[in-house]
């Protein structure tokens, strides 16, 4: 079974193009955080077709979180230097909003470790420690 579920942030606005038959497709990538001792970020190339691509074009922009269900597709082509180049894409079959538009627009920037710096002298009664 070839099934993938991802949640990540768009690294750029989706690039929408038309196929030879006139339908549309979208290409973009998302940044997906890894967990555990091998923590880091993977940048996954995504392709969506038809109504899914139109939905993405209309509602998603760089920086927004997106949930994707789909499948992995590999391929290859001959590069300019004559060497074979292998490709790896996730074909999006279903996409979902993961956060509200206002939440993505007002997201507090975090450090690489995921924590937000709070300046000294700022007291926030909402914090469990003071």
d(CA 115, CA 109): 9
Is 114 inside a domain boundary?
Answer: no
Is 82 inside a domain boundary?
Answer: yes
Is 96 inside a domain boundary?
Answer: yes
Is 125 inside a domain boundary?
Answer: no
Domain that holds residue 68: 4-105
- Whole-number average pLDDT of the chain: 85
Cβ(42)–Cβ(34) below 8 Å: yes
Is 129 inside a domain boundary?
Answer: no
Domains in the chain, number: 1
Q: CA neighbours within 13 Å on the CB side: how many for 42?
A: 13
Nearest alpha-carbon partner for 58 in 90, 19, 91, 97: 97
% of the chain exceeding 90 in pLDDT: 67
Is 127 inside a domain boundary?
Answer: no
The per-residue pLDDT for 130 is 44
Is 117 inside a domain boundary?
Answer: no
What single DSSP character describes residue 107? P
CATH at residue 77: 2.40.50.140
Alpha helices (H) in the chain, listed in sequence order: 50-59, 101-105
The per-residue pLDDT for 64 is 95
Q: Where residue 106 falls among pLDDT bands split at 50, 70, 90?
A: low
Residue with the larger pLDDT of the pair 106 and 130: 106
Q: Where residue 112 falls among pLDDT bands split at 50, 70, 90?
A: low
Is 111 inside a domain boundary?
Answer: no
Lowest mean pLDDT among 52-56, 100-104, 117-121: 117-121
Q: What value does the mean pLDDT take over residues 34-45?
A: 90
Kindly report the pTM of this predicted structure. 0.72
């Amino acid at each position: 079974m070839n099934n993938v579920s991802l949640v990540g942030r768009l690294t750029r606005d989706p690039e929408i193009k038309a196929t030879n038959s006139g339908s549309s497709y979208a290409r973009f990538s998302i940044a997906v955080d890894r967990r555990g001792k091998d923590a880091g970020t993977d940048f996954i190339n995504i392709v969506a077709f038809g109504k899914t691509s139109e939905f993405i074009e209309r509602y998603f922009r760089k920086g927004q979180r997106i949930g994707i269900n789909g499948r992995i597709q590999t391929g290859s082509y001959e590069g300019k230097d004559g060497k074979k180049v292998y490709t790896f894409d996730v074909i999006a079959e279903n996409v979902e909003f993961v956060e509200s538009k206002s939440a993505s627009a007002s997201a507090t920037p975090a450090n690489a470790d995921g924590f937000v710096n709070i300046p000294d002298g700022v007291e926030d009664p909402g914090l469990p420690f003071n």
